[in-house]
């Protein structure tokens, strides 16, 4: 029973659901919550899961792959290019300095240089999953610390490639490569052919991203089956990950690249919101697995050693990062966020440990010890970040609020237009003519394609989904214009916005009078009946053609619209009483006719004696 | 304490250097209401009833506007045409404005000297505003001479600041006066009032 899949799923999900909210409530962030959940259900506490934790971890590492795809989506190629100096300078110096420092220390302690190099390279890596998740949760990805952290993590992902290439070379001569290979089938080829494969694979990802994924997504979008779109998004990510593993590259790096290529496409927001839950769940699972795989037995036996080595590693990494941060001219508080955040050993180290241990560079106790240290360092990080935030940062300098706000304004528009058919596009054109660039959401992929060719910034997706609105910037925006054709969709959107984004001012298109009543009952303040203005305008022209004076007609039309809108507000009050409604409609029509005709007949004498007063003449 | 109603008419208020500062200097005063006509009636479709209700409540009315071609922007003329109705503002039964005070508070690009017998415009602003004077008189109101900020093309920050302070002092003074002296009408402009 306990081995069944469903039972396992219940354990993991329940642990997450119990621990994560508690952790968040205590201000610790979700990562720590997941880790604690893992420890609690792991072999050393409740014993719900045993040794299979590590297998699950390998599976759940896919969450990291997805996360990098999503991060790539956020990062347009131009932005990445701007970061190139930061990635090479900051990132490379972190990897080299940290590896060098650990290498020196280990050799000093009498380890062989091969072991020292394999271990020190692994220790230089940090946890992309923990760092980025924490930064994102705290909205710090755009801060200086966030950008530098990202540069370091990206460089580490790249550095994994040469690391995996170097480790096999460390095998003591004469010892055969028994056991499993790391898994890259191209290893049998000569070095230069491998290089060609690698370059070819990267080029393929870029080409596919440019010329194949977007048309494919368009075709899928046309089917209007949402699950098919999700499946397609997953296929892209999994496919690239597979391709990367085939040529021995980091799958995370490959999907990151694909994300960057797709960052400029109209499907950006849709892909983001579709993959986000998968990423979240897999990452959560990954953290739980890390928590569960901590070997407390081993730690218990060597408590002093494990703890002092872990703290030593954390301290050394932090100090090196602090130095790099200082060189990069980070302010002290940003530098602390940067260096403490990246101080742990990362999830990819698990891979390099097991690789090195398969090659018999590391013996089993060392590997187990390293795994325990890594897991503990990952578990401690969220705590350290929390301590830094609560105890240290309040004492050093201020948080740069202004910089962050400016960034947000740059990235998000104040106006969102949902639905970009004739109605919405007219609004969009008018706003754009006056320098207001709205964020546009539309669910017709053909139209999105066309409009993008015309230079509009249009995103593809169903605007009634809160997550899509969120990624379109609904939290920061001021106004949401609903120009959707279908009234039912409109109501759904109004409900979603009222529930999730009460900050947004809603301006809604109504098909007709009845539609307007519905919207008024939903307490939408700004309702625009789509036919009203243009039909009155046509009526005006008719009157002019029949010989009325244009200005008189203009004023009559203005008043007609005014009375009509006033009558609408009156009528909605009695709408539910059907009988009264009918009589009330009649009454309003009569009132309108009376008002307008009397005004015309009396030549403005009653309300408007200004230009031509019969009374005055008769005096 | 009297009630002051400012009818502000500026077709491009967001670009106005003077009228914004003047309006800002009095907008927080108690018993002072500003009606921004171009914001209320962008289509010139004036709500006559709402305007008349505002007028009835006021004791002192200020037409605040820039001087265009020796007069006011067109919406203010439209306002006069539509709101000051026969039988309400003047004529038989037109008693609702009786006894109120009214004047123009204006900005002019030309310098003060230009608005004189010898200057290039040949007349003072008070003289140019004769139609406003007679409109007020027909409605049984007392027309006070204009408050003016002249030479606005070249005005410096200090002068503008002191003009705004003078405007605030004037509005406060009129609001708090028990009795407004008829002698004020003989002044050339309300700027001459020492308060």
The CATH number of whichever domain residue A432 belongs to comes to: 3.40.50.720
Which among A81, A103, A85, A82 has a CA at the least distance from the CA of A93? A85
- Chain A nearest CA to B105, separation (Å): 24
Least trusted range by pLDDT, from A121-125, A248-252, A584-588, B180-184: A584-588
Instruction: List the Cα angle A500/A503/A504 in 5-degree steps.
Output: 90
How confident is the model over A124-145, as pLDDT tens digits? 999 888 888 888 777 677 778 8
| Sign of the alpha-carbon torsion through A317, A321, A322, A323 | positive
CA–CA separation, A232 and A614 (whole Å): 75
DSSP labels for A147-176? Answer: HHHHHHHHHHHHHHHHHHHHHHHTSPTT--
Shared-domain flag, residues A81 and A164: yes
Q: Where residue A595 falls among pLDDT bands split at 50, 70, 90? A: low
Reading phi first (left if > 0) and then psi (alpha if -120 to 50, else beta), residue A301 is in: alpha
How confident is the model over B112-123, as pLDDT tens digits? 999 999 999 999
Q: Does B179 touch chain A if contact means CB atoms closer than 8 Å?
A: no
CB A510 within 8 A of CB A528: yes
Instruction: Report the percentage of chain B scoring pLDDT > 90.
Output: 85
Whether A407 is covered by a domain: the verdict is no
Collect all residues of chain B within an 8 Å Cβ-Cβ radius of residue A607: 48
Whether A36 is covered by a domain: the verdict is yes
Least trusted range by pLDDT, from A177-191, A276-290, B20-34: A177-191
Substitution target in A560, A603, A609 with the highest count of B β-carbons within 10 Å is A609
Mean pLDDT of chain A: 80
Reading phi first (left if > 0) and then psi (alpha if -120 to 50, else beta), residue A167 is in: alpha
Which among B2, B13, B14 has a CA at the least distance from the CA of B76? B13
Write down the pLDDT at residue A510: 93
Where are the domains positioned within chain B? 4-192
How confident is the model over A402-455, as pLDDT tens digits? 232 323 333 456 899 998 888 998 998 899 888 888 888 887 766 776 777 777
Nearest to A610 among B45, B82, B92 (CB): B82
Write down the pLDDT at residue A562: 83
Please count the other Cβ atoms lying within 10 Å of the Cβ belonging to residue B82: 22
Tell me whether residues A615 and B48 touch, CB distance under 8 A: no
Collect all residues of chain A within an 8 Å Cβ-Cβ radius of residue B84: 610
Number of domains in chain A: 3
Beta bridge partner(s), residue A416: A439, A480
Beta bridge partner(s), residue A440: A417, A458
Nearest-by-CA chain B residue for A608 = B82
Please check the confidence at residue A487 and state whether its pLDDT lies above 70: yes
Q: Does B85 touch chain A if contact means CB atoms closer than 8 Å?
A: yes
Substitution target in B52, B80, B85, B89 with the highest count of A β-carbons within 10 Å is B85
Beta bridge partner(s), residue A459: A441
Q: Does A602 touch chain B if contact means CB atoms closer than 8 Å?
A: no
> What ipTM was reported for this prediction?
0.75
Of residues A290 and A614, more confidently modeled: A290
Mean pLDDT of B12-40: 94
Nearest to A609 among B43, B86, B92 (CB): B86
Shared-domain flag, residues A323 and A444: no
CA–CA separation, A181 and A164 (whole Å): 11
Whether A181 is covered by a domain: the verdict is no
Domain edge (last residue) among A529, A558, A583: A529
Taking the domain B4-192, which CATH number applies? 3.40.50.360
CB A147 within 8 A of CB A328: no
Give me the CATH number covering residue A117: 1.20.1530.20
Shared-domain flag, residues A201 and A72: yes
CA–CA separation, A553 and A572 (whole Å): 28
Shared-domain flag, residues A200 and A267: yes
Largest Cα separation within chain B, whole Å, is 49
Substitution target in B82, B90, B92, B135 with the highest count of A β-carbons within 10 Å is B82
Whether A178 is covered by a domain: the verdict is no
Write down the pLDDT at residue B60: 97
B 11-30: CB under 8 A from A: none
Collect all residues of chain A within an 8 Å Cβ-Cβ radius of residue B82: 608, 610
Which among A320, A344, A487, A478 has a CA at the least distance from the CA of A413? A478
Collect all residues of chain A within an 8 Å Cβ-Cβ radius of residue B48: 607-608
Tell me whether residues A610 and B85 touch, CB distance under 8 A: yes
Return the beta strands (E) in A246-365 as ranges. none
Q: Does B86 touch chain A if contact means CB atoms closer than 8 Å?
A: yes
Tell me whether residues B45 and A611 touch, CB distance under 8 A: no
Collect all residues of chain B within an 8 Å Cβ-Cβ radius of residue A558: 43, 45
Whether A264 is covered by a domain: the verdict is yes
Q: Where residue A398 falls among pLDDT bands split at 50, 70, 90? A: very low
Question: Which distant-in-sequence residues (6+ apart) come within 8 Å of A28 by Cβ?
Answer: A382, A383, A386
The tokens 């006021």 sit on which residue? B58
Q: Does B43 touch chain A if contact means CB atoms closer than 8 Å?
A: yes
- Distance, CA of A339 to chain centre: 24
CA–CA separation, B136 and B102 (whole Å): 7
3-state secondary structure of B88: coil
Mean pLDDT of chain B: 94
Shared-domain flag, residues A192 and A208: yes
How confident is the model over A266-280, as pLDDT tens digits? 888 888 888 888 888
Nearest-by-CA chain B residue for A611 = B81
CB A293 within 8 A of CB A375: yes
Nearest-by-CA chain A residue for B84 = A610
Largest Cα separation within chain A, whole Å, is 125
Rg (CA), chain A: 32
The tokens 């947004």 sit on which residue? A504
Shared-domain flag, residues A295 and A422: no
Shared-domain flag, residues A398 and A439: no
Shared-domain flag, residues A369 and A507: no
Q: Strand order in A439-442's β-sheet?
A: A458-460, A439-442, A415-418, A479-482, A505-510, A526-529
Q: Does B111 touch chain A if contact means CB atoms closer than 8 Å?
A: no
Our CA dihedral for A331, A335, A338, A342, rounded to 10 degrees, sits at 170
Collect all residues of chain A within an 8 Å Cβ-Cβ radius of residue B81: 610-611
Shared-domain flag, residues A198 and A53: yes
The tokens 């799958």 sit on which residue? A251
Whether A69 is covered by a domain: the verdict is yes
Please check the confidence at residue A597 and state whether its pLDDT lies above 70: no
Q: Does B48 touch chain A if contact means CB atoms closer than 8 Å?
A: yes
Instruction: Report the percentage of chain A scoring pLDDT > 70.
Output: 84
Please count the other Cβ atoms lying within 10 Å of the Cβ belonging to residue B193: 17
Shared-domain flag, residues A265 and A334: yes
Shared-domain flag, residues A239 and A371: yes
Return the beta strands (E) in A78-236 as ranges. none
Shared-domain flag, residues A522 and A378: no
Helical axes A532-545 vs A550-573, angle rounded to 10°: 150
Least trusted range by pLDDT, from A109-118, A269-278, B82-91, B183-192: A269-278
Tell me whether residues B81 and A609 touch, CB distance under 8 A: no
Domain edge (last residue) among A529, A563, A584: A529
Encoded tokens for A450: 């066309």
Write down the pLDDT at residue A399: 39
- Chain A nearest CA to B86, separation (Å): 6
Question: Which distant-in-sequence residues (6+ apart) come within 8 Å of A328 by Cβ?
Answer: A86, A89, A90, A148
| Residues A203-208: contacts with CB under 8 Å, at least 24 apart | A204/A243, A205/A240, A205/A243, A205/A254, A205/A257, A205/A258, A205/A261, A206/A257, A206/A261, A208/A258
Please check the confidence at residue B62 and state whether its pLDDT lies above 90: yes
Domain span holding position A612 = 531-619
CB A53 within 8 A of CB A38: yes
Question: Which distant-in-sequence residues (6+ apart) come within 8 Å of B64 by Cβ?
Answer: B6, B7, B8, B9, B19, B22, B23, B104, B105, B106
CB A334 within 8 A of CB A144: yes
């Amino acid at each position: 029973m306990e081995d069944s899949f469903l039972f396992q799923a219940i354990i993991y999900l329940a642990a997450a659901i119990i621990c994560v909210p508690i952790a968040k409530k205590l201000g610790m962030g979700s990562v720590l919550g997941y880790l604690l959940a893992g420890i609690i259900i792991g072999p050393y506490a409740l014993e719900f899961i045993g040794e299979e934790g590590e297998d699950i971890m390998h599976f759940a590492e896919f969450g990291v792959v997805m996360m990098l795809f999503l991060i790539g989506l956020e990062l347009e190629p131009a932005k990445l290019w701007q970061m190139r100096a930061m990635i090479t300078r900051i990132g490379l110096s972190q990897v080299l300095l940290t590896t060098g420092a650990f290498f020196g220390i280990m050799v000093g302690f009498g380890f062989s240089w091969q072991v020292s190099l394999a271990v020190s390279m692994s220790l230089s890596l940090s946890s992309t999953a923990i760092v980025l998740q924490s930064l994102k949760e705290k909205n710090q990805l755009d801060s200086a610390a966030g950008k530098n952290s990202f540069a370091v993590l990206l460089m580490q992902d790249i550095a994994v490639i040469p690391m995996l290439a170097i480790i096999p070379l460390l095998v003591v001569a004469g010892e055969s490569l028994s056991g499993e290979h790391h898994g890259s089938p191209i290893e049998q080829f000569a070095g230069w052919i491998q290089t060609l494969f690698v370059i070819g694979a990267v080029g393929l990802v870029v080409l596919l991203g440019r010329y194949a994924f977007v048309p494919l997504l368009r075709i899928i979008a046309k089917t209007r089956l949402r699950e098919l779109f999700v499946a397609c998004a997953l296929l892209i990510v999994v496919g690239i990950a597979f391709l990367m593993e085939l040529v021995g590259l980091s799958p995370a790096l490959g999907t990151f690249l694909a994300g960057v290529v797709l960052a400029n496409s109209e499907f950006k927001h849709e892909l983001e919101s579709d993959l986000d839950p998968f990423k979240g769940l897999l990452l959560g699972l990954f953290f739980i697995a890390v928590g569960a795989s901590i070997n407390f037995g081993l730690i218990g036996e060597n408590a002093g050693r494990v703890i002092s080595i872990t703290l030593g590693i954390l301290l050394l990494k932090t100090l090196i990062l602090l130095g790099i941060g200082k060189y990069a001219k980070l302010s002290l508080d940003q530098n602390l966020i940067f260096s403490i955040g990246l101080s742990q050993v990362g999830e990819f180290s698990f891979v390099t440990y097991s690789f090195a241990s398969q090659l018999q560079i590391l013996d089993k106790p060392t590997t187990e010890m390293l795994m325990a240290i890594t897991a503990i360092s990952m578990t401690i990080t969220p705590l350290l970040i929390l301590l830094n935030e609560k105890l240290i940062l309040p004492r050093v300098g201020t948080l740069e609020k202004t910089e962050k706000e400016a960034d947000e304004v740059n990235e998000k528009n104040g106006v969102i237009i949902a639905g970009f058919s004739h109605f919405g596009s007219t609004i969009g054109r008018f706003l754009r003519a006056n320098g207001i660039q709205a964020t546009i959401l539309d669910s017709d992929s053909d139209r999105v394609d066309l409009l993008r060719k015309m230079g509009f910034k249009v995103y593809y997706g169903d605007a009634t989904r809160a997550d899509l609105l969120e990624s379109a910037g609904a939290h920061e925006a001021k106004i949401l214009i609903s120009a959707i054709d279908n009234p039912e969709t409109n109501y759904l959107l109004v409900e979603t916005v009222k529930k999730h984004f009460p900050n947004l001012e809603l301006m809604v298109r109504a098909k007709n009078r009845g539609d307007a009543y519905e919207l008024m009952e939903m307490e939408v303040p700004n309702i625009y009946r789509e036919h009203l203005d243009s039909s009155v305008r046509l009526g005006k022209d008719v009157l002019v053609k029949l010989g009325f004076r244009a200005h008189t007609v203009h004023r009559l039309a203005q008043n007609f619209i005014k009375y009509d809108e006033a009558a609408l507000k009156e009528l909605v009050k009695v709408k539910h009483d059907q009988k009264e409604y009918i009589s009330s409609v009649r009454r309003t029509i009569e009132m309108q006719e009376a008002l307008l005709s009397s005004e015309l007949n009396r030549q403005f004498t009653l309300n408007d004696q200004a230009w031509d007063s019969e009374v005055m003449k008769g005096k | 304490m009297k009630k002051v109603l400012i009818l502000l008419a500026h077709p491009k208020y967001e670009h106005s250097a003077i009228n914004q500062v003047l309006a800002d200097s009095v907008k927080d005063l108690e018993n002072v209401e500003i009606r921004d006509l171009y914001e209320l009636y962008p289509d010139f479709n004036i709500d006559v009833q709402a305007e008349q209700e505002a007028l009835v409540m006021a004791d002192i009315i200020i037409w605040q506007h820039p001087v265009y071609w020796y007069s006011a922007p067109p919406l203010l003329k439209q306002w006069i045409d539509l709101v000051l109705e026969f039988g309400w503002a003047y004529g038989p039964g037109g008693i609702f404005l009786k006894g109120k005070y009214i004047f123009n508070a204006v900005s002019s690009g030309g310098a003060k000297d230009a608005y004189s017998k010898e200057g290039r415009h040949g007349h003072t602003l008070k003289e140019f505003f004769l139609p406003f004077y007679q409109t007020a008189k027909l409605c049984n109101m007392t027309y006070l001479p204009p408050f003016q900020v002249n030479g606005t093309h070249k005005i410096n920050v200090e002068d503008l600041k002191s003009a705004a302070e003078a405007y605030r002092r004037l509005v406060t003074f009129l609001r708090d006066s028990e009795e407004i002296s008829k002698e004020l009408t003989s002044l050339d402009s309300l700027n001459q009032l020492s308060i």
